[in-house]
Amino acid sequence: MVRKMGVYAVLAFCLYGLFFYWYLFYFADASLPFEYQGSKADPSTFLNGRELDLSGEYSKIRNLLFFLSTPFEWLFYFLILLFGFSKAFKRWADQSAKYKMLRMPIYLIWLSLFAFLATFPLSYISYSLSRTYHISTQTFTSWMKDELIDFWINYATWLIIVPVLYWLMKKSKKRWWLYGWLLSVPFTLFMMFLQPVVIDPLYNDFYPLQNKELETKILTLAEKADIPAKNVFEVNMADKTNALNAYVTGIGSNARIVLWDTTLNRLNDNQILFIMAHEMCHYVEKHIYFGIAGYLLLSLLGLYLTYKIMNWAVRKWGKELKIDDVRDIRSLPLFFMILSMLLFAASPLTNLASRYEETRADKYAIEMTKNPEAAISSFQELTRSGLSEVNPPFLVKIFRYTHPSMLDRISMLEEYEIKHRNQ
């Protein structure tokens, strides 16, 4: 039975992968609708022939890797349970630690290490792909450093969460999901507060914007929007990527607007001011706090569903999965697998909410700057630098895109430009 379940799982993953390969490379149509051809959203008007070809190739492969990576994690955790590795991790932890409090950290390091090694090939392929298409400029050593930072941050996070979670399971078999969620609220807010000042600097160097003339323009724009901003930060990204970006991060007194130095190097002041106005909208309309509230509500539902599905799975297949009790640490891969599945299933909804906020931010920015030419050209340059698809396939858009497609964004700006040109 165990061998049959393993074969079926691998076969299901292969069929899933073949479906998305067929969908992305043969079925999905990323060409522009007729009415947009020749418009400023048409990539043929601002990309050369080679850039168009590279954009199509890169997007298809990158999208395929995205659709393979998350289900591969599910397969990994399922096989870890099915073939007794989770049971072995617990045995190794029990044998190597005299003190009980050390056994869970040892179990976690084994599980984390095996997960890192299993997913490393896909991560490396993604890194190599971005290097091949000149999106990434990062050396292997620098990339590997970031991967190891990810590993230890994730391990440290789970080292805090998992012991508390399984202690709650033992204390309250039916309500642990609720108590776990209540504790996650302050923890989430605390991590959001720490993110800009503790976690982000582990990866890159942050410093106040060096171009003081541009900083004055940005702060004037912030004052116009009633934002009490004192500093804009730039981050050194040119050693890692050719892509452009800007974002808002953190909460409370640690909230900050960040510009990549690649953005500063490749866009002019008017284009940057449009991008800054876009980011200011997230502050003005409190999108970060709505996002946190939405995340917490979804996590409540997610933990409840995880509780129900874990109990059902252990009742039905506990013997095959080598799990006697949900409250046993051996069930952790099952917890991770179910949680990942639920996050993937929820991504169309969360992405839809994010795209709505980003559309609001685009409209806010163009109303504030009233410079559609700068806005359109900034999006065109973003498309070029990241070899982005202007009109992604439907499944790619709903599962991957937290921002509107460039077709939607540029065509909205072009409509604004036409409307105000005739006034």
Whether residue 285 lies in the annotated active site: no
The active-site residue out of 234, 261, 328, 362 is 362
DSSP assignments along 109-147, one per residue: HHHHHHHHHHHHHHHHHHHHHHHHTTSB---HHHHHHHH
Is residue 401 within 8 Å of 355, Cβ to Cβ?
Answer: yes
- Token digits of residue 380: 């065109």
Separation CA 413–CA 420 (nearest Å) = 11
Spatial contact of 200 and 249, defined as CB atoms under 8 Å apart: yes
According to the model, what pLDDT value does residue 349 have? 95
Query: Annotated binding site, which residues?
Result: 278, 282, 358
Give residue 93's identity as a one-letter amino acid code.
A
Contacts of 309 (CB under 8 A, 6+ apart): 338
Cα dihedral across residues 358, 363, 366, 368: positive or negative: negative
pLDDT tens profile 282-335: 888 888 889 889 999 999 999 999 999 999 999 998 888 889 889 999 999 999
The annotated binding site for Zn(2+) is made up of: 278, 282, 358
Q: Which of 73, 234, 261, 279 is catalytic?
A: 279
| DSSP annotation string for 71-85 | HHHHHHHHHHHHTTH
Q: Is 42 a catalytic residue?
A: no
pLDDT values of the chain reduced to their tens digit, one per residue, 423 residues? 667 888 899 999 999 999 999 999 999 887 888 888 888 889 989 988 888 889 989 999 999 999 999 999 999 999 999 999 999 999 999 888 778 888 999 999 999 999 999 999 999 999 999 999 999 999 999 999 999 999 999 999 999 999 999 999 999 989 999 999 999 999 988 888 888 888 888 898 888 888 888 888 888 888 887 776 667 889 999 899 988 888 877 676 667 778 899 999 999 999 999 998 998 898 888 888 898 899 999 999 999 999 999 999 999 988 888 898 899 999 999 999 999 999 999 999 999 999 999 999 999 999 999 999 999 999 999 999 988 899 999 999 999 999 999 999 999 999 988 887 766
Largest CA distance in the chain: 79
| Environment class of 252 (CB within 10 Å of its CB; exposed 0-12, middle 13-18, buried 19+) | exposed
User: How does 285-294 read in b/e, with b if 16+ C-beta sit within 10 Å?
Assistant: eebbeebbee
| pLDDT for the residue 422 | 64
- Rounded distance between C-alpha atoms, residue 253 and residue 54, angstroms: 42
Task: Give 303's contacts (C-beta < 8 A, 6+ positions apart).
Answer: 177, 178, 180, 181
Predicted TM-score (pTM) of this structure: 0.90
**β-bridge mates for residue 208, sequence order:** 233
Q: How many CA atoms lie within 13 A of 423 on its CB side?
A: 6
Please report the pLDDT score of residue 120 as a whole number. 95
Q: Tell me the pLDDT tens digit for each residue of 19-60.
A: 999 999 999 887 888 888 888 889 989 988 888 889 989 999
